[in-house]
Every structure is written in structure tokens, then in C-alpha cells.
Amino acid sequence: MATVIVFGPTGAVGSAAARTAQQQGSKVYLALRDITKSVPGLTADQEREGGFERVQADFSQPETISTAVAQSHAKHAFIYTDLTSADYMRASFTALKAAGIESVVLLSTFGIQENIRSAEISLQEVFGANGYVAVRPGFYASNTLWWKAPIQTGHVNLAWPDGPFDWISPEDIGGVCGTILAHKAKGIDLAAGESFVYLVGPEQMSVRGVVETIGRVLRKEVTITEVEEQEALDSLVNQSGLHEGIARSVLGFCRSATEGDSFIDIPAYGESVGNIQKYLRRAPMRFHEWVEANQDKFMA
């Protein structure tokens, strides 16, 4: 049985990657900053029965990465992009390589910003063009939690509400990452020599559309009011509790989508539509299905 190590398994993507790799025959080590923290989708009994083991690691501290890999004896790793890294994760990648990791599956993003691009460049320089696969997903379905608080009140103020996004399930993203990881551990190159894989959701919906869908699934009446950008910003900051910088970025995404200037409008989007089906051999989760499976997140 091949051994892999999954960093960041307490997130929806990392958890799904770990569970999928185990289901596909890998021995999985869970590398956590806090080893007492629960992993979504895994009870203590399921961890034990599935042969999962925990090791402590903090991706901002390369020495802990070396220790975790040494304890696991893993040759293949799933990692996430650390946007706060001052050296674009080079020290972390170097620690992985020095500890014996041969290949990496990196959770990246469809919209390659400068720091993310630089991290992928660092990864390629450390592991080589054939030593990693960067999975680049589109717009997460879980981003709708930005509007959870106003949805709970029954009234949502939106600016730029009609631009389309793809609303990809984090669990599908993790499933693809875990599938690639498990096959890498078996010596099978699912990505056919590609250093990156784009993933997108199965349907395009506007923010207005997803808020309406959430209301229907929750059986809750939700009124949507289109407002100026400043009022929408105030709602995201004061109601939803987003940092102002993040809230401005959210509204920037919405404006770009409305004006036809988003990743949906580039050729790579259309070329990526079937990738979840290709890797998971099942249809991707549609947005209403994701909401039905995660109703508790909107009620908390």
C-alpha cells in the first residue's frame, strides 16, 4: 500500500482529498497544525478504521514539514497554497523535497494572481515539471457563505448581482486532488504529463440566482435588493463580518463577471467543463445539491 501525506485536512478540500486517496487504496497521513482538531467527514472511528494517522506540521515552519514527512515515510503529498508566504513557499517545497517527497498535488486557483503564479514557479523549480500537478479550481460554492448572515435575516443587498460564476463544490475539488494523489502513489499519471489541471463547476449561476436557490433549499423567503457598491460593501463588512479588503475583492469579482471580464470568458473555461467527470467518473455536484448537503452551514 502506497503512503501519502495530506497537509491541511481540516478544510473541505483537504478532507475530501484525504478521504478519496484512502478510498483509492492509499495509506494516508493527516498533517495538521493542531493534531487535536477534527477533520470534516471523518469521525474518530472512521479515522481508526480507515488507517489514517495524524502528524503535526505547520506549513509556515519548514522544519515541522521535514519531521512530518519523515514520520510518515510518504513519497507523495497534497498541499495548499500559502498566500502569506514571503518566499512563495520555496522553503516549504524544499523541505518536502529534502524529506523524500517525490511528487506534489498543489491546490491552486483558476485565476492565477502574482503570488500564486510565483508559488507555482517555485514548486516547478524545486520538483521539476513532472514532479507536481497544480489543481486550479474555479469559484467555490462555499463562497456563498459570504452572504449567510443577510440570508438569515431574509434580506440580501447585492451589487453587481447578475454576473455568472461556476460555483464548484469543494468536495469535488478535493476528490480530484485525492484521485490524482492516489494514482501518483501507484505510479499512474492521470494528468498525462500536464503540470496543471483546471476544474470548473457544472453550471453557471449569478449571485442573485444562488441566493434564490439557497432560499428555496432552506425553505426561507429571501428578498434581494440591488444596491450601489458602497451599500453592498457595508453589508459584507458589517453583516457578514468580512474584512474590508476581502469584501472589496468580492465585489470586484462580481463587477468583473457582470462586465464579461472573468475566467468564464476565457477559452480555458470551456476546455475544463468535463474535467471533474473525467477524474471522478461521475457527474459533478450541482449547486443546489451542494446547498442541500450543507444546509447546516447556513443555519449556524
Asked if 74 and 194 sit in the same domain, the reply is yes
> Do 45 and 72 belong to one domain?
yes
Domain at 156, CATH number: 3.40.50.720
- Check whether residue 35 and residue 158 sit in a common domain: no
Q: How many angstroms separate the Cα of 62 from the Cα of each of 103, 198, 205?
A: 17, 28, 40
187 has pLDDT over 90: no
Given phi > 0 = left and psi -120 to 50 = alpha, else beta, which region is 193? left
54 and 186: one domain? yes
CB 18 within 8 A of CB 178: yes
The domain total for the chain is: 2
Question: What residues make up the domain containing 128?
Answer: 3-137+169-199
- pLDDT, tens digit, for every residue of 207-263? 999 999 999 999 999 999 999 999 999 999 999 999 999 999 999 999 999 998 888
Indicate whether 155 and 238 sit together in one domain. yes
pTM over 0.85: yes
Q: Tell me what pLDDT residue 112 has.
A: 62
Phi, psi angles (nearest 5°) of residue 63: -65, -30
- Alpha carbon of 162 to those of 157, 158, 204, 205, 267: distances in Å? 13, 9, 11, 8, 21
Decide if pLDDT at 113 tops 80. Answer: no
Q: What are the backbone angles phi and psi of residue 234, rounded to the nearest 5°?
A: -60, -40
Are 107 and 212 within one domain? no
pLDDT in tens, 27-70: 999 999 999 999 999 999 999 999 999 999 998 899 999 999 99
Residue-level pLDDT at 151:
97
